Amino acid sequence: MTNNLQATTTLSNGVKMPWFGLGVFKVEEGPELVNAVKFAIKQGYRSIDTAAIYGNEEGVGQAIREAINEYGIPREELFITSKVWNSDLGYDSTLVAYETSLNKLGLDYLDLYLIHWPVEDKFIEAWRALETLYKEGRVKAIGVSNFQVHHLEKVMQVAVLKPMVNQVEYHPMLTQAEVKAFCDSNGIQFEAWSPLMQGQLFDNPLLKELANKYNKSVAQIILRWDLQNGVVTIPKSIKEHRIIENSNLFNFELTREDMDIISSLNENHRVGPDPDNIDF
Ligand code: NAD
C-alpha cells in the first residue's frame, strides 16, 4: 500500500523499493546538493536517484554517510540508484563503471543499477554485465531506463534475468500507455522521470482546478496520480519547502474520474530525448 513516504513496491526478485524518492539531475556537487539530500532523508525520504552522468555521485555519497551518522538511519533502510552512462556500455566497461560509481558514492553496494539509455548494439553486453554484478551479490536489483517495448523484448530474448525496473519519462503529457502496459504485464516496475515535466505543468488550468478541489498543489496532484497508477516517482527539488511539499501525498486520494481526467491530458509530448533517436 502506498500509504506513507516509506511505503515500498516489491520488485520481481523480492527486493523492496520505495514508491517515492528524490531525483538529483542537474544538481552540481557542493553544499547545496549535500544539504538537499540530507534534508530529504531527515524528512523521511529513503530513495535517492543519481547517475554517473549527473557528475554528483560524490556529493550524494557524502550526504548519505552524514545522514547515516547524524540521524542514525541504517544503510539498509536507504535505496540508492545509479546508472551506467552510454560511453561505458559494454561488458567490461560496464563492470568498471559500476566500481567507479561505488567508489564515488563511497558505498559497497547499490540498491538499483540501471542502463541509462538503450544504445543499440551496446545495451545487450551491458545487460550481461549487470547480470554478473547481480549474480555476484554486488547489487540488490538491476534494471533499465528509457527502454521502449522493442528494447525490452530484445533484452528479454537473451537475458537470464528480466529487468526489474524501467525508468522512463512519464507525466500527464506523456503517459506512455504501450510501454507501461508491457512493463505492468511483465512484472517490470515502471518508474517516472521528470514526473513534474521539469516544472512545465504548473500553469495547466485543469491541474490547477484539481489542485483547488483537493486543496493541494499541482505538484502533489501529479505525484499522487503517479502513485495511484502504480508508478514509482522521483521528483527533483533542492528547496526544503518543496522537498516537504512533494512528499505530502499520503493523506488524500484522487477519485477514479479525476485520475482519468489527468491521464486525458496526454499529448505524447516529451521534454527529454526520444529513446528511438538518441545521438549522444
Ligand atoms: P522534475 O519533473 O522532477 O522537475 C523538477 C523541476 O521542478 C525543478 O526545476 C524543480 O525546481 C521544480 N519543482 C520540483 N518540485 C516543485 C514544486 N513542488 N513546486 C514547484 N516546482 C517544483 O524533473 P527532473 O529533475 O528532470 O526529473 C526528476 C528526476 O528523474 C531527476 O532528478 C533524475 O533523478 C531523474 N531523471 C532520469 C532521467 C533518465 O534518463 N533516466 C532523465 C531525467 C531525469
Give the right CATH number for 8-263 from 3.30.70.141, 3.20.20.100, 3.90.1150.10, 3.30.70.2190: 3.20.20.100
Ligand 1 centroid vs 254 CA: distance in angstroms?
22
DSSP string, 184-243: HHTTPEEEEESTTGGGTSTT-HHHHHHHHHHT--HHHHHHHHHHHTT-EE--B--SHHHH
Among 24, 25, 225, which is best to mutate for testing ligand 1, by the most ligand atoms less than 8 A from CB? Answer: 25
Ligand 1 centroid vs 237 CA: distance in angstroms?
7
Contacts of 252 (CB under 8 A, 6+ apart): 214, 216, 224
Write down the number of H helices and E strands in the chain.
Answer: 10, 10
Atom of ligand 1 nearest to the CA of 49: 34
Domains of the chain by residue range: 8-263
Report which protein residue has its CA nearest ligand 1's atom 14. 237
Rounded to an integer, what distance in angstroms lies between the CA atom of residue 163 and that of residue 118? 13
User: Residue 194: CB within 6 Å of ligand 1?
Assistant: yes
Contact 115, 84 (CB under 8 A): yes
pLDDT of residue 122: 96
User: Residue 242: CB within 6 Å of ligand 1?
Assistant: yes
Rounded to an integer, what distance in angstroms lies between the CA atom of residue 212 and that of residue 258? 13
Among 47, 145, 193, which is best to mutate for testing ligand 1, by the most ligand atoms less than 8 A from CB? Answer: 193
Contact 23, 193 (CB under 8 A): yes
pLDDT of residue 223: 98
Each residue's pLDDT tens digit, 249-260: 999 999 999 999
pLDDT of residue 3: 74
Query: Is 54 a residue of the active site?
Result: yes
pLDDT of residue 2: 61
Contact 271, 42 (CB under 8 A): no
- Residues in the chain predicted with pLDDT less than 50, given as ranges, are 1
Among the options 45, 54, 98, 134, which is catalytic?
A: 54
Residue whose cell numbers read 483547488: 212
Each residue's pLDDT tens digit, 140-184: 999 999 999 999 999 999 999 999 999 999 999 999 999 999 999
Residue 204 has a CB neighbour count (10 Å cut-off) of 19
User: Residue 67: CB within 6 Å of ligand 1?
Assistant: no
139, β-bridge pairs: 110
Rounded to an integer, what distance in angstroms lies between the CA atom of residue 71 and that of residue 167? 29
The residue ranges of DSSP E strands in the chain, in sequence order, are 8-10, 16-18, 22-23, 47-49, 79-84, 110-115, 139-145, 165-169, 189-193, 232-233
